[in-house]
A and B are shown apart, each in its own frame.
Chain A
Amino acid sequence: MDRREYCRQLTQELRHLTASEVAAVRQELWDHMEDHAEMLREAGYDEAEADARAVEAMGDPVETGREIDKQYPAIWLWLSRIAIAVIVVVCIRTAFGYFGGMHSFFEILSIRYDPYRDMEITMEEQIDYKMEVGNDIIHFIAITDYTPDEDCTAILYYNIYDKRLLSPIDYNLDNYLTFSTDDSTYERLAGGSWANKFVKQIESKINLSADDTSILIVYDRFGDYAECRIDLTEVGK
């Protein structure tokens, strides 16, 4: 029996192995017999005899095959497959379910590092005031349509994000802000917003009179208090 025939007979007994496992066992056996034959050749045996002795030393291929087959219990194969399934499911859910798509992930980054992306805001309209509420940051980034020394309805732009990159925000945080000018207080401002679990972009209309010099924003809920004053005399300069 030559090496090839030995491997064929042995692998026929590997009934519980996957195709890749059978191939790996076959390669292992082949290499083992090759090593043994090489040693015999170095000891003075001719090539045919060295090969024959190496094969003979491996024992009965049927019995050896059955013994190897027993070394591959199904439980480990199934555990391995379940683990792979878990990895696939978790990765898919993370990628598509959590971020709501890659677009949202870029929004999470851009709100922090490039808050004026896709906005038509001039340098004069930009402001930079931050307010910390628990782990959430409210970043006031711009006031547009503001005319100093005249009554007007300005638009205040602000973003909400968490201090930690991938932590959710309080989605309704902006509903608990009060906005006060020198002579008015607003519980809620009209406007629009865009949000996902991690960030929120808001634009709110606020009526400002000619005498107003600042906007005071206050958060006071569940014992947490925070305030921020936007200096209107700096806007437009």
Chain B
Amino acid sequence: MKKKRLVSRRHRALRNIAIAVLVILLTRYVNLYSLTPMQAIEQAKERSGIFAPTEVVTYCEVPEMHRFHRLYMIENENTVALTNTVLQFIGWTTGSAFAVDCTEDRPVHCGAMALDRSRDNDGKHLAFYYGRVDSSSVERVEIVEIVLEKSLTYPEERFNYITDTINIPRSEWIERDGYYLFFHEMTEEDNPDAQHYVRCYDDADNLLYYEFINHHYSLSVAN
């Protein structure tokens, strides 16, 4: 009869760890988790219709949401987007990429995302404004918050009801080949009636363009 060899604890532990790593790699293959934030970003892009390669422009940690929560700003010549990634027990997870289409001919393309940690909501949330400036005559981008109590005949009238203003001057922009990118993080009041507009100005501070920020995403994390 063949005798069974005594297996040491070390040998058994290393074998089980190897199997665990293999299982994690397999689940990574089926996109449950990612080993790196970059892989999580690729998943988010896939789910959001961004199929072309992108570059990471910048990222910020958002410990207010989760100890290992990172927000990445990515871009290519046709889009700029924010992606949420969170490091969990065995890897990075993600949701969608919050994308702004930059293919239309406009001086500025702007998106916004609000992050709200719902358990201890103190009436404020984290807001991120991001986008791209395509016109070389723009010197300053401004985000304005407007709270309207009545409907108005002329859109410009709305700017008489500004409740908050954020300035993002050229010095804060990130230069790319032929355009500039901006990313601004702030804490702001929760106000479901608030509307946000982006305005841009030339070097003489003349208003060149404004638009309603259509891409206003909101995400709550209940932890």
Contacts and interface: CB of A to CB of B under 8 A. Distances in A.
Interface of A: 21, 24-25, 27-28, 31, 71-73, 76-77, 79-80, 83-84, 86-87, 89-91, 93-94, 97-98, 133-136, 162, 166-173, 176, 197, 221-224
Given A89-B89, A224-B52, 19 more contacts: A24-B7, A76-B13, A79-B16, A83-B19, A86-B90, A87-B16, A93-B27, A98-B32, A134-B52, A162-B46, A166-B30, A168-B31, A172-B48, A173-B49, A221-B103, A222-B78, A222-B79, A222-B99, A224-B49
A71 B10 CA distance: 10
B43 interface: yes
A98 B3 CA distance: 43
Contact of B52 (A25, A79, A84, A223): A223
Contacts of A28: 6
A173 B89 CA distance: 31
Given A221-B101, A223-B103, A170 B79 contact: no
A64 to B, nearest CB: 14
Given A76-B12, A87-B20, A31 B31 contact: no
A160 to B, nearest CB: 11
B126 interface: no
B9 interface: yes
B134 interface: no
B222 interface: no
B127 interface: no
Contacts of A25: 6
Interface of B: 3-4, 6-10, 12-13, 16-17, 19-20, 23-24, 27, 29-32, 43, 46-52, 76-79, 89-90, 99, 101, 103
Contacts, number: 112
Contacts of A136: 51
A84 B78 CA distance: 46
Contacts of A77: 9, 13
Given A87-B19, A172-B49, A24 B9 contact: no
A92 to B, nearest CB: 11
B24 A86 contact: yes
Nearest to A225: B103
Contact of A80 (B12, B76, B103): B12
16 contacts: A25-B6, A31-B3, A72-B9, A76-B10, A77-B9, A83-B16, A83-B19, A84-B20, A90-B23, A93-B32, A162-B46, A166-B30, A168-B47, A172-B48, A222-B49, A223-B76
A220 to B, nearest CB: 8
A27 B32 CA distance: 43
B196 to A, nearest CB: 22
B27 A94 contact: yes
Contact of A222 (B19, B43, B50): B50
Given A72-B9, A86-B23, A222-B78, A167 B16 contact: no
B103 A90 contact: no
A90 B3 contact: no
Contacts of B19: 83, 87
A72 B52 CA distance: 54
Contacts of A24: 4, 6-7
Contacts of B78: 222-223
Nearest to B46: A168
Contacts of A86: 20, 23-24, 90
A61 B46 CA distance: 65
Contacts of B76: 223
B70 to A, nearest CB: 20
Contact of B77 (A71, A80, A223): A223
A93 B99 CA distance: 29
